[in-house]
Homo-oligomer: A and B are copies of this chain.
Amino acid sequence: MTDPLVLFMPSGKRGRFPIGTPVMEAARRLGVRVESVCGGRGACGACQIDVHSGRFAKHGITSTSRNLSAPAAKELEYAERRKLKPGRRLSCQATIQGDLVIDVPQDVTVNAQIVRKGTSGRTIDRSPAIRLCYTEVEVPDMQKPRGDAERLIEALCRDWGLERLGIEPSLLAGLQATLRSGRWTVTAAIHDDPQSGPPHIVALWPGLKNEAYGIACDIGSTTIAMHLVSLVSGRVAASAGAANPQIGFGEDLMSRVSYVMMNPGGRTELTAAVRGAINDLIAKVCGDADASAADILDAVFVGNPVMHHLFLGIDPTELGGAPFALAVSGPIHGRAADFELSINPNARLYVLPCIAGHVGADAAAAILAEGPHRQDEMMLLVDVGTNAEIVLGNRNRVVVCSSPTGPAFEGAEISSGQRAAPGAIERVRIDPATLEPRYRVIGVEPWSDEPGFEEAARAFGVTGICGSGIIEVMAEMFLAGLISEDGIINGALATRSSRVIPHGRTFSYVLRAGEPVISVTQADVRAVQLAKAALYAGVKLLMQKQGVTAVDRIHLAGAFGSFIDARYAMVLGLIPDCALDCVASVGNAAGEGALMALLNRDYRREIEDEVRRIEKIETALAPDFQSFFVEAMALPNKTDAFPKLAAAMGLPERTASSRRRTATGRPGP
């Protein structure tokens, strides 16, 4: 007689197994993920399954719940105690008695897969560095006088296939009481990240414990973002963000480095500030998820090199000047307690590697999330802040650089610029015929030319232009002919529009009259030109390194990438030409990468290996960077065409040969 055929859904994996095989064992042999905390003792309920009843002609299976063994005592007990849904079975207890189609339900938290919210929709397999392992420990025996810790370790190694398992010495104090209050049953949280040594018990609870958490944190210069994640189910239990209080010591990175250099104790202050903010966020996500901070057992951090160093308590002064030496570039494996985090004192800490003095663990995390190294297409990944981190590559080769874009894209050094906040203009359109603008303000629903705008805008006022607004207004001015390819505001148009007004020896464009006047000055245009030229020159440098003249895909990461309209970025020449549907805003890719490293240790190895492989290009040492920069001062660029953008927007295609002006900013002949 042939063995019964078993088909698992939704994975579609199938195989034949002898009658009497536990369903969990069949699943494991086929590589179907069925979770378990209790190690198959019918105690944790994590391995629930459903049976599909009916004839599945395509597979040649007639499945019925009678083809499973009758519920065992442990299942009945669990069903009563924990209210198992009707029809649900525990796969560790139920055995195969005939053909079956089995569903691994996604509502059981431990089986919920993590679906990427970004562009790829990729699922993240779970293999966290911390896992919960339930076991039953032998009682003490005077004839075999091994310690309680040794019997615990023996039981865990036996039940969970571990070797060389150690225990955190600080747990020894509470060990005996825990074992006795759990009547020799216990759940251990085991840290198992081979890179940092043999597996290690980091927490213990009497009896069965079904939940533990980790945090993934992106420490940005401006914003700190945190996810609280169940390490058992992979579910994101809460997310929160907060301003980085280091802003009080300096808006941008270099001013914070200066603060450390100028003030004795400055490093300590900045470290305390960022750790304090992180602890506040921990309290917030725990409150939101009704979780205990003592149940947080793993913590993954990413950040740019200066944030990385300050968080770790390292003086960032060396990052302030050439050769921009990182104190440490590799991954950090540590104990949370050593970094004053208000979580379980034995929790582990992992910090992703940095790539170079200006390309940090946040960039590494973004690469991990977007995965240029996992695909064939030539992907450009850009994260723009005060510095732009630029990554270009595919599975063959990845190159990165950092380019000093300055703060213009964040609205700083722009006459009417401001942070993205209610009252800031974020969207702009200019009628090429009348040169009249219309715009949208953060926090205000209607556009400026729609009914009710002024009333709605009164709540916050209209106070300035944020980063995305700067890009749009400049692109629209360029498209309307208000700005030349060289970036000159055309004073001759003052005769056609009262919005073009003289401003010293140059001209400005008034976006909104009133209090305050919001306008774009020639100096503003120059600031954006410098910023975009720095970005584009970095991209060009990497394209040169890769020997390509076009990229297949552009991912824009970070807050800037989230709000910017890719078309306008391309109109101004911030990024190279690319099919618009291949340009994506990917949000906080760094935070996403941190989450991946939290949920699966394999991603840690992947990015560690990749960072070693990545080629870092130092723009300051690259002979062609300066000429790329000069060419990129032109709008969109002196030498590059943007045929895909032109086609998509119905614009006439400009080519390098059609240009009449130089890129120096002076009118040509």
Contacts and interface: CB of A to CB of B under 8 A. Distances in A.
B149 A312 contact: no
Contacts of A177: 315
Contacts of A146: 326, 329
Given A145-B355, A145-B356, A338-B169, A140 B325 contact: yes
Contacts of A620: 142
Contacts of A317: 176
A143 interface: yes
A147 B334 contact: no
A141 B325 CA distance: 8
Nearest to A621: B142
B315 A176 contact: yes
A371 B621 CA distance: 65
Interface in A593-621: 616, 618, 620-621
A172 B328 contact: yes
A149 B327 CA distance: 6
Interface string A141-181: 11101111110000000000000001101101101110000
Contacts of A12: none
Given A169-B312, A322-B142, A176 B357 contact: no
Interface residues of A, number: 51
Nearest to A139: B323
A483 B512 CA distance: 118
A354 interface: yes
Interface string A341-355: 000000000000011
Contacts of A315: 173, 176-177
Nearest to A169: B334
A503 to B, nearest CB: 41
B324 A175 contact: no
A18 interface: no
Contact of A326 (B145, B324, B616, B618): B145
A333 to B, nearest CB: 8
A144 to B, nearest CB: 8
A318 interface: yes
A96 to B, nearest CB: 41
Interface string A26-55: 000000000000000000000000000000
A398 B441 CA distance: 85
Given A169-B338, A197-B198, A198-B197, A142 B618 contact: yes
A352 to B, nearest CB: 13
Contacts of A481: none
A616 B327 CA distance: 51
A325 B147 contact: yes
Nearest to A197: B197
B323 A141 contact: yes
Contacts of A324: 140, 142, 145
A355 B146 CA distance: 8
A442 interface: no
Given A197-B198, A328-B150, A314 B173 contact: yes
A421 interface: no
Contacts of A322: 142
A141 B330 CA distance: 16
Contact of A170 (B140, B147, B176, B338): B338
Contacts of A641: none
A584 interface: no
A332 interface: yes
Contacts of A354: 147
Contact of A329 (B147, B332, B356): B147
Contacts of A318: 140, 148, 176
Interface in A423-482: none
A276 interface: no
B357 A312 contact: no
A182 interface: no
A643 interface: no
A4 interface: no
Most B CB within 10 A of own CB, among A148, A167, A339: A148
A313 interface: yes
Most B CB within 10 A of own CB, among A167, A196, A314, A325: A325
B147 A618 contact: no
Given A169-B332, A313-B173, A323 B142 contact: yes
A261 to B, nearest CB: 13
A631 to B, nearest CB: 24
A314 B178 CA distance: 13
A620 B175 CA distance: 26
A618 B357 contact: no
B328 A143 contact: no
Contact of A149 (B141, B197, B328, B356): B328
A618 B328 contact: no
A473 to B, nearest CB: 37
A357 B149 contact: no
Most B CB within 10 A of own CB, among A322, A328, A357: A328
Contacts of A170: 313, 338
A148 B273 CA distance: 25
Contacts of A142: 322-324, 357, 618, 620-621
B621 A329 contact: no
B326 A175 contact: no
Contact of A145 (B145, B166, B175, B357): B357
Given A148-B326, A169-B312, 13 more contacts: A142-B618, A145-B324, A145-B357, A146-B329, A147-B326, A147-B329, A147-B330, A148-B328, A149-B327, A167-B328, A169-B333, A175-B328, A176-B318
30 contacts: A140-B324, A142-B322, A142-B621, A143-B618, A145-B323, A145-B324, A145-B329, A145-B356, A145-B357, A147-B326, A147-B327, A147-B329, A147-B354, A148-B325, A148-B326, A148-B327, A148-B328, A149-B329, A149-B330, A150-B328, A166-B196, A169-B339, A170-B313, A170-B338, A172-B327, A172-B332, A173-B312, A175-B328, A176-B317, A177-B315
Closest 10 CB pairs of A and B: A147-B329, A197-B197, A145-B356, A140-B325, A149-B328, A147-B326, A169-B334, A147-B328, A140-B323, A142-B323
